[in-house]
Structure 1
């Protein structure tokens, strides 16, 4: 596989480099269909540059090729539901519209950082949809799914994953949600 959204980074097959992944991510990659797993690459990065804007600027990766994984918490009555939303870095997840309706909750908001980290077993700034807790819906914006390649977290702040957007739809619990990402403004 040849990855092209890498900017100045060297990308290697993710399945062959578990040391660059959170344990849950490595385990989930191993459980994927091999044809999907081989499309996933990983690059080591400076953990201080894990946040999207800093990462893109330093490594020459386009914001259009970067996708963010946003953990959302929804409440209805006494119940709480979580979901992961995959949107391009140039957009924001429509939490109060599309996500709230999909989760069938009265209110939805970004999960607090400490809670998202504790539940996922991943580092803040590196949370990725690969390896999330069982039963969480993974809502993938149409623009992410259509992207020839996206750059996402590796579960740790010290790496990024590179894969075709459509590969995210192969994850257990993944759903295509058109217009999930909204342009800010």
Structure 2
């Protein structure tokens, strides 16, 4: 079974209308990235996988994490398989060099990313954010991730995600 299940996909660069603006700019120079239109009500990973027959283990979640150090708020994006959770209070906290790391407030993450809640993806995020990619995501042939909007999903090769600007492959990020 393909990562897409019952969906048909096209090269993402061919359908910028299915992408948030910063995502469309980011995929323009990438190869192997596909997009498929979905029902926005089914954007959450579990609902998407169930409705379209996409395997849960072929999906990755991108979460925005923040923490403060000396009054400065620091952000990072974490990309982990949907069957795991990001080690926010361990690896991410140490990587950001903050006392406490937590999920960034939804409204702040959406505003800074320029993407919709439930569609945030590592492609097209602010250049100064580290993108922490779990080693299992980086090793995957392709994973399903958000497209910046709730009305579509992307399939992206793990190697492409590992090669994004600011990306760092982190062993054990998802557990």
Task: Determine if the TM-score, normalized by the shorter chain, exceeds 0.5.
Answer: yes
Deviations 1:76-102 (A, max 9, x none): 121110000000000000000000011
Which residue among 82, 86, 94 is the counterpart of 1:93? 86
Alignment partner of 1:173 is 2:166: yes
* Correspondence 1:45 to 2:38: yes
1:61 matched residue in structure 2: 54
> How far off its partner does 1:163 sit?
1.6
Q: Gapped runs of 5+ residues in structure 1?
A: none
Total equivalences in the alignment: 175
2:146 counterpart of 1:153: yes
CA distance in 1, matches of 2:31, 2:87: 31
Quote the residue 1:16 is aligned against: 14
Report how far residue 75 of structure 1 moved.
1.1
Partners of 2:86 and 2:173 within 8 A in 1: yes
Q: Is the 8 A contact 1:4 1:149 kept in 2?
A: no
Choose from 24, 27, 30 the match for 1:29: 27
Q: What does 1:79-90 correspond to in 2, within 5 Å?
A: 79-90=72-83
TM-score (norm 1): 0.92
Q: Distance in 1 between matches of 2:34 and 2:49?
A: 17
**In 2, Cα distance between equivalents of 1:142 and 1:74:** 23
Deviation (angstroms), 1:119: 0.6
Q: CA deviation at 1:165?
A: 1.1
Q: Is the 8 A contact 1:11 1:42 kept in 2?
A: yes
Aligned counterpart for 2:112 among listed residues 116, 119, 123: 119
CA distance in 2, matches of 1:29, 1:67: 17
Structure 2 residue corresponding to 1:164, chosen from 143, 157, 160: 157
Question: By how many angstroms is 1:38 displaced?
Answer: 2.0
